[in-house]
Structure 1
Amino acid sequence: MNITEKLRETAARVPAKPAYYFAGESKSYAELEGAVTKFASGLQKIGIQKGDHVGLILGNSPYFVIGLYGALRAGATVVPMNPLYTPTEIGYMLDNGDVKALIALDLVLPVLEKVHTSLPKVESFILCETPKQEGDSPLDLGSLSIYPKLQAFTEVLEKGDLSFAPVDVKEDDTAVILYTSGTTGKPKGAMLTHKNLFSNAHDIAEYLKFNEEDRVITALPMFHVFCLTVALNAPLMKGATLLIVPRFSPKEIFDLGKTMNPTVFAGVPTMYNFLYQYPEGNPDDLKSLRLCVSGGASMPVALLKNFEHKFKVVVSEGYGLSEASPVATFNPLDRPRKPGSIGTSINNVENKVVDATGEEVPIGQVGELIVKGPNVMKGYYKLQEETVATIKDGWLYTGDLARMDEEGYLYIVDRKKDMIVVGGYNVYPREVEEVLYNHPDIVEAAVVGIPDPAHGEAVKSFVVSNNPDLTADDLIEYCSLHLAKYKLPSYVEFIDELPKNATGKILRRSLKEIAVETK
């Protein structure tokens, strides 16, 4: 069984049930199933074969759902990407990911124009049209150098045949490659198999007790693995209805609450903070919620308690990472929840806290969190050494430091790899430092995370420069040419020398202490 087979099974069981609502319109499971089948057939007719890689640069919309499931049904491997990425980032992922066809929003055409000449492997650009505002000029596609490779999403869909037979795939075939920031400065592609995706979605659907009456707010970015499993695949397995939100805004969520009676909301702590602080937010508008799910970063205990008190709903925190499809733990719904904890192991997944030798540490002691189960990735795409270093004897070494209490509840203590979490998105210091070091006026640079009330953490850069006229704004603008917005330094501090130990290693802990004091 895989997620596209499960969709077909669900559609046969509840064909008339709404699969999703989007922009005031709904589509039934039968209609979604038909669109997925036709799109899979259309992809095959334009040359997509089993094992080919299909990229997605899409926001939250039916395009993403149909594109994802259609490509998987055609036997392809899907490579989702953030539409906010820069040409440098998108170009790298398309090239490294061996993408043959790209399904993209028309809004990213300027980016594709800049990179497509260096991407000979991409044979087709499938364009998804976004709603135009009154007065907007129509797109002059014919003027684009990319035009000969362009075709509309609707055209590919119309080419499809409802009699199309799904391509046979094995459970160990790669279904999705998710690019996650790498400590070397280049993103790494985590290969998730059909078994990985199916098992984690199935186990989460059971764990969170999704059912046909649920209406799940799908406001997290669909290209992010948290949304992909928890707010997309898992609900569709149980015949629930997705309430697709193009982009998160407190107003949109409260409006949905008043009109659509949502039952489940999944978000990162930043979203909960915005909902809690929203002046016009009436708790009665969200009274239909039976459950809220939080992940992506640790939620401050004060925010969790305040949110639950205001909205009279339980927030279940969990933990996951792209390499685990992503969920490894959740606070149980049938036992006491422990604020500050990421919960206990979900069904079929085992978690341990180990020392440097891989031996389990005593209860209460801090060590590295490792994960084992059917959700653990196949490996990193084209990075065998990194794969061997990360997966040992079937255990995924997360790089996160944690402790476990006597009841099996886990607590994240620190991030072993100095990762910064900005609004639920992972930012690795090395990636930002690589960009800073490419600036001609930078001698040394180091990046750390500092507390931020709105986004959990913010990026702060310490730099040593040989140009006294260089400003913080100059550096931030420079970084914006190479990094997505959430990765940009919010603060830049110029110093004479970076603190180092006797071997020359930069002392990040010292920088963090300085950063908090001088923010």
Structure 2
Amino acid sequence: MNLSDQLSITARNHPNKTALVFQDQKTSYLELEGAVTRFASQLRKLGYQKGDHIALAVGNSPYYVIGLYGALRLGAVVIPINPLYTAHELTYILKNGDVKAVITMDVLLEKFEAIAGNLPGVQHYISCESSAGISLENHSLYAKLKSFTNLLQEGTLMYEKTKLDDEDTALILYTSGTTGQPKGAMLSHRNLFSNAKDVADYLTINGDDSVIAALPMFHVFCLTVALNAPLMNGGTVLIMPKFSPQDVFRIAYDYEATIFAGVPTMYNYLLQSASGRKADLGTIRLCISGGAAMPVALLKSFEKTFGVMVSEGYGLSEASPVTCFNPLDRPRKPGSIGRNIIHVENKVVDEFGEEVAVGEVGELVVKGSNVMKGYYKMPEETAVALRDGWLYTGDMARMDDEGYFYVVDRKKDMIIVGGYNVYPREVEEVLYIHPDILEAAVIGIPDTGTGEAVMCYVVSSSTTLTEKELIEFCIGHLANYKVPSKFEFLDELPKNTTGKILRKNLKERVEQ
């Protein structure tokens, strides 16, 4: 089974059910199924076939959903790309990913025009219309340009589906590339389908649910949890072009949303904007958090304010992405990423790959039908990540005696102060307890005496808070070697498009 076939089944069983809502326009499952088929038929007519690589550089919209499912129905390998990437970043992925066609917004064509000379392998740029009203005529890329809208209108429903094997590559997701160039994680049809189904089953996402898709769809968290999982069972996806607290409140109220999925910074913004809007989330039965560790103080404050449970989970691109979630049928453990979801196994191992004792810290490894095939054209990196059937995540974690996992921190982010290990998250958790701290991020900096020292960047609601006060606060909660030796106050912390705090950028500030 695959996502494309499942959509056909859902459309046949629930043709008039609303599948998507975007800018207050509704699309039924029957309409979505027809659009996907027509788009796939036109891709085939343009000469594309099973195994060809098609990039999808589109923001949250029906264009994205139709483009994704249409290309998958053809049997193409889809490469989702952040539309905000620079020309340099786009060029690397399009060349490394052997892309033959690009689906993008008309407002981004100028960016692709600048790099087209370096991409002889790209045969077509399929342009999605925006409100900007950009004309495709007389464009320098005109010979290679196709209108997404025209393709849909000219497509046919008399289309024989491509036969897909479960192990065929469906997606190549390029990781953020915190070290070296981005790596393309190859996910099969089995990977995507199994994880969407297992997440839907584990979190009981069903046809009565309306899920807010505020995270970027090119990110695998949104792709699986807020798009594929609800479409699996006939749910409704409430598509937001971009996140804003006010829009979340409005959409949740207007469409009686039942599920919201976000990263911790989104929950922080919602909490800061909560005044007078608490009732707008009254129909939400479940909030899902992932992408980064959620500070316990933030989690408790959000739940108390809105009266809704937050289920924190864990995942990574290489695992399609979800491996753990806090279960809904028993008390949630604050600070935990939860337990194994269905058909996925996690364990914590030492440097030799041996499982450590309960409560001890080691590297989190994962096994299951959701784990990637490998990195595209990177056999050595694949061999490091996939060993003896296990995916090595690079995250340090521990497991308690009830099978709940706790991510301590990224292996590469660990700070060693005079021979002692300091995990940034532990320090950040303490700082989030402080009433004047809105955001905090901890990094290691060089120190001649101890090798490394702890430094913290904070965003504060107070204009009078001082470094001295924060150091004294930390001394009361942390061992001396864990106390930051330096604080820097910022108006905001650098984040990626999913809202994840970028420690890499903060480290670069120190090096400058």
Range into which the TM-score falls when normalised by the shorter chain: 0.7 to 0.9
Secondary structure (helix, strand or coil) at the match of 2:395 reads strand
Which residue in the other structure is 1:299 paired with?
294
- The structure 1 residue matched to 2:210, chosen from 215, 227, 239, is 215
- The structure 2 residue matched to 1:236, chosen from 220, 231, 236, is 231
The answer to whether the 8 Å contact 2:56/2:80 transfers is yes
Gap runs ≥5 in structure 1: 133-137, 422-426, 430-445, 455-479, 497-519
1:374 deviates by 0.1
Alignment of 1:23-422 (within 5 A): 23-132=23-132, 138-278=133-273, 280-418=275-413
Question: What amino acid does structure 2 have at the position aligned with 1:73?
Answer: R
Gap runs ≥5 in structure 2: 415-423, 426-440, 444-451, 461-495
Change (3 A) 1:303 1:371: same
Whole-Å separation in 2 of the counterparts to 1:21 and 1:200: 24
Deviation readout 1:85-134 (Å, 9 max, x if unpaired): 100001110110011011001121121011111001100000001123xx
Runs of at least 4 residues off by over 6 Å? 484-488
Of structures 1 and 2, the one with the larger relative CO (CA 8 A, separation 6+) is: 1
The answer to whether the 8 Å contact 2:178/2:504 transfers is no
Secondary structure (helix, strand or coil) at the match of 1:206 reads helix
Change (3 A) 1:140 1:213: closer
Of the structure 1 ranges 156-165 and 381-390, higher mean CA displacement relative to structure 2 is found in 156-165
The answer to whether the 8 Å contact 1:6/1:237 transfers is yes
The answer to whether the 8 Å contact 2:262/2:289 transfers is yes
Q: Does 1:21 align with 2:21?
A: yes
Whole-Å separation in 1 of the counterparts to 2:350 and 2:504: 34
The answer to whether the 8 Å contact 2:129/2:149 transfers is no
Whole-Å separation in 2 of the counterparts to 1:30 and 1:452: 49
Question: What amino acid does structure 2 have at the position aligned with 1:186?
Answer: Q
Change (3 A) 1:73 1:351: same
Deviation readout 1:459-499 (Å, 9 max, x if unpaired): xxxxxxxxxxxxxxxxxxxxx9xxx9979846865779xxx
Deviation readout 1:194-233 (Å, 9 max, x if unpaired): 0000000000000110111100001110000000000000
Question: What amino acid does structure 1 have at the position aligned with 2:244?
Answer: S
1:183 deviates by 5.0
TM-score (norm 1): 0.81
Whole-Å separation in 2 of the counterparts to 1:305 and 1:355: 32
The answer to whether the 8 Å contact 1:275/1:281 transfers is no
Whole-Å separation in 2 of the counterparts to 1:281 and 1:90: 42
The answer to whether the 8 Å contact 2:278/2:305 transfers is yes
TM-score (norm 2): 0.82
Deviation readout 1:283-306 (Å, 9 max, x if unpaired): 111100000000000001011000
Whole-Å separation in 1 of the counterparts to 2:507 and 2:318: 30
Change (3 A) 1:490 1:362: closer
The answer to whether the 8 Å contact 2:212/2:252 transfers is no
Secondary structure (helix, strand or coil) at the match of 1:276 reads helix
Whole-Å separation in 2 of the counterparts to 1:256 and 1:494: 41
Give the share of equivalent positions with the same residue, in percent. Answer: 59
1:453 deviates by 4.7
